[in-house]
Amino acid sequence: MTNKTVTTNFLWRFLERCGAQVVMLIVTTVLARLLGSTAYGTIALVTVFTTIMQVFIDSGLGTALIQKKDSDDLDFSTVFFFNLAMCTVLYLIMFFGAPLISAFYEKPELTSIIRVLSLTLVISGLRNVQQSYISKKMLFKRFFWSSLGGSIGSAIVGIAMAYMGFGVWALVAQHLINLAVSTAILWLTVKWRPKFIFSFTRLKGLFSFGWKLLISALIDTVYNDLRQLIIGKKYTSDDLAFYNEGRKFPNFIVTNINTSIDSVLLPAMSSEQNDRERVKTMTRRSIKVSSYLMWPLMVGLGVCAEPVIRLLLGSGWLDCAPYMRIFCFTFAFYPIHTANLNAIKAMGRSDMFLKLEILKKVIGLIALFSTMNFGVMTMAYSLLVTTVLSQIINSWPNRKLLGYSYLEQIKDILPSVALSGIMGVCVLAIQFIGLHYIVTLLIQVPLGAAIYIGGSKLFRLESFEYIWNVGKGFLSKKIKSN
């Protein structure tokens, strides 16, 4: 697989994530002002459970289809029908278990919300294999139109329902419409269709690789949702809403960059799994480029947290600013996580992937249960500490698998981190002038961009030059094609 193919698909995936996330950012801004923190807190209580169930729909089989070099129609059809049966069973579990979840939270009104919102599980069953097919064939342009269509369609419905006074049901409808429309567009634009064939032998073969990823994903999801479960039960819905909204905005940025790299890198690495040096080169490039993009955005958002929240959500949401800063620093390390874990999966070491996940979550649970009685903020700080430890753990196997040590990885990202720190100090200083928050932002954003881009050019940062050349090549290609 050529560098040109990988880069082109990354750019399409990146544009897709940016388009979808910009729309969702606008929707979140409008709905947060219309509905307030209570509605968002209620939805967060429900998605704790639907997110866990979502893991079972994939069962690690989607990744197994991508990792397997010679997967064919029999493999894809087998996984499709297995997933369809699985998502039906999971929906029935959520439907009949809804009263128990409502009783746990002591909120009877959650029952109907859970039953309707859980329909996303059924829709995901229809979508999952199509996504794997697109990733396997490197057809990421298809994601662009499906995500954009889903985001715009759900935005119209969600905002209209909020204005009409539907409250939390506006958020439920937004989730459902987004997934339904994007799934429908995928089915219209992707040629693959399931055939009425099924093989238990193929399923067993795929599951031998995928079950370890399933357990890993389940552990990770339960661990992440456990923190929200504890906050929702032990503290208030508003506390949970502030925690989640503080996470949401840096997550917008991380999703754009990290998901783009993650979805393109795994199939690209898998196709080169027999060439150790090639996989190392791709891993290194991923860490350097994604860190170059991620660190200034996370540092910039962190230092501008309060004016950003005032502008987008209103002063009533200022309590989520400290959480936003914590999550910005937490997510800044994700490029190392993503690249190292993709390399491990691409090399076929799902067993090692599972062992790493267990080790990280044992450390995380110790930190979580040690801090849960000391407030939501303390719990958030514990997540930051465990994330730093986790990226060290994730990098350890590749010292032997690829000959790419953690120390080398730190050296590769150090120029981006240092320049981001300088930029952050300069941008933060503007807030002490005492200007109106909109004026402050209008100065901070271009100043930060100028310092980072100017510094990159001045010190000839290799990642900057790489991105600049790739961008010019992509644009020139588009101009010629038109």
Q: pLDDT (tens digit, 9 = 90+) per residue, 402-438?
A: 888 888 888 988 999 999 999 999 999 998 888 888 8
Residue 478 — very low, low, confident or very high, per pLDDT cuts 50/70/90? low
Residue 426 has a pLDDT of 93
Q: What are phi and psi of 70, to 5 degrees?
A: -120, 35
Residue 154 — very low, low, confident or very high, per pLDDT cuts 50/70/90? confident
- Greatest C-alpha distance within the chain: 68
Alpha carbon distance 402, 409 (integer Å)? 12
Q: What tokens does 184 get?
A: 């429908």
Max mean pLDDT range (157-166, 263-272, 295-304, 390-399): 295-304
Residue 122 has a pLDDT of 87
353-380 mean pLDDT: 88
| Cβ atoms of 13 and 140 closer than 8 Å | yes
Tens of pLDDT, residues 8-56: 555 555 555 565 666 666 777 677 777 766 777 777 778 778 878 887 7
Q: What is the pTM of this model?
A: 0.67
Tens of pLDDT, residues 376-387: 899 999 988 888
| Cβ atoms of 308 and 249 closer than 8 Å | yes
Tens of pLDDT, residues 167-187: 889 888 988 998 898 888 888
Residue 450 has a pLDDT of 94
Alpha carbon distance 273, 279 (integer Å)? 7
Residue 476 — very low, low, confident or very high, per pLDDT cuts 50/70/90? low
| Cβ atoms of 334 and 384 closer than 8 Å | no
Residue 2 has a pLDDT of 46
